[in-house]
Amino acid sequence: MASQTRGIVQESLDALLADTAFLPELDGDARKQAFTSLGAILSTPNHLHKSFLRIALENGSVVRIPAFRVQHNNALGPYKGGIRFHESVNEEEVINLASLMTLKNALHDVPYGGGKGGIVLNPRSFSVKELHLICKKYVQYFSDVLGPDKDIPAPDMGSGEREMDWMMAEYKSIRPGQPYKGSFTGKSVINGGSLGRREATGKGVYFSFRYLLHDFLQEQRKFLTNNENAFAKTALEYDGSPLSLAVQGFGNVGSVAALEAYQCQHLQNKVVAVSDRNVTLYNSDGLDIPSLVKYVALNSGDLPSTETQLEEAQIKASIRDRGDILNIDVDVLILAALEDQIHDDNKEKIKAGIIVEGANAPVTSEADEYLSNKGVIIIPDILANAGGVIVSYFEWLQGRETQFYTEEQVYKLLLEKMKNTMDTILPAFFGDPHPLRQNCYIHSVMKLSTVLYRQGKLY
């Protein structure tokens, strides 16, 4: 996936290089040299920090756990990005995710740079006491490069407000007398976190789909109807029709997105399938999402996976293999699990006409090109799943200003910010042949290029 990100960034730079209206003061060899510099800067991180955390387990043994903190670019502000707790974490993945954060923040006009962290572990394999020690050690090892105005971590896959509370507390103990509230975001509300932070990414994921297919379509129907753009035709095909949705992943992002769809009054949509690490549940008449959310909360985050469990929860659904979620015949597929879920081997089996990337990089470059050429609308990760970092920014502001927003205010500000981004990007997307991902990247790279040039970083 890292090669895909670099490739699209370079394509965006090539398009901007050819556009003489962009940075017109640069021409000739000076222009080529500047864009060569941009390619080098945006394709590599500023800093790569790695270590092996020494952890004494409760059974008396000692393990060394690989950990990373990548700081990609801080031209727009402090580095910002989550810390992933997963056994698949590796250096290349963390570098790629940090670069995506740089692009995401630039796209949504959030004054942060891009960073990312990762710890190679399965959180389910450690006790609470051991996880607490792992969090403390992570902060101890990387404290010199973290801070409210340097690099601000947040939750990611496998981590949440509990881990951020622990890490903030350790940062406070290492830096006595210094500001600490903004050192980590995604904390519990009682520890300075923001209301609505946990739900923010999932709400943003569904909003990006709803806004495109309802709000924007209603306002711009004439523009779309008179347009030969293949993606405009796809959107119009679904206009006013009942829609079936499938959601891969039923964690913080997927469950909230599914609940938003279930409760939405703007579209005739129903969630007919959801999946997690164990199972896919399907009901063509629509699943009882509130009951599934309640069940998951009481059962260690797992969906019911047996007939007995479904009966006890009074949920009507058929049980399928977890991988079946991708191949079900639905209109909309929300990907809220892991990277590289749709790839060269299964791309031809995808039946959805709209795909929403709630996870980071769930569609490979080969699959992306194949599906886009078929007119499938893919709402990319840097556009769809930015709710978390946007509300993290609100949390950071609240900590600095020592005043707090209500949950209603947080959601209002979140959706306004995403709406502004969509209103900037969608007209170009429906007006040219480029996929939505390319349009988003061009916009992000344009902003980053301008800022880097104005800061004198290209010489």
Cβ atoms of 244 and 269 closer than 8 Å: yes
Kindly report the CA angle at 207 between 202 and 208, in degrees rounded to 5? Answer: 100
In terms of Cβ atoms closer than 10 Å to its own Cβ (0-12, 13-18, 19+), residue 403 is: exposed
Neighbours of 324 (CB within 10 A): 15
Neighbours of 56 (CB within 10 A): 12
240 conformational bin, left if phi > 0, alpha if psi -120 to 50, beta if neither: left
Residue 284 neighbours by CB under 8 Å, 6+ apart: 244, 272
Cβ atoms of 179 and 389 closer than 8 Å: no
Cβ atoms of 229 and 433 closer than 8 Å: yes
Structure-token match 């007995």, residue found? 308
CA 313 to chain CA centroid, Å, is 31
β partners of residue 332? 245, 354
- Element holding 154 (H helix, E strand): strand 151-155
Look up 419 and say whether it is catalytic: no
Helices 407-431, 230-237: axis angle to 10 degrees equals: 130
Q: Name the catalytic one among 104, 116, 137, 270.
A: 116
DSSP at 93: H
β partners of residue 34? none
Residue type for 368, please? D
In terms of Cβ atoms closer than 10 Å to its own Cβ (0-12, 13-18, 19+), residue 20 is: exposed
Neighbours of 30 (CB within 10 A): 12
Cβ atoms of 172 and 82 closer than 8 Å: no
Distance (Å) of CA 118 to CA 81, 82, 155, 209, 247: 10, 8, 10, 29, 25
Q: How far, in Å, CA of 214 to CA of 205, rounded? A: 14
- Residues designated catalytic: 116
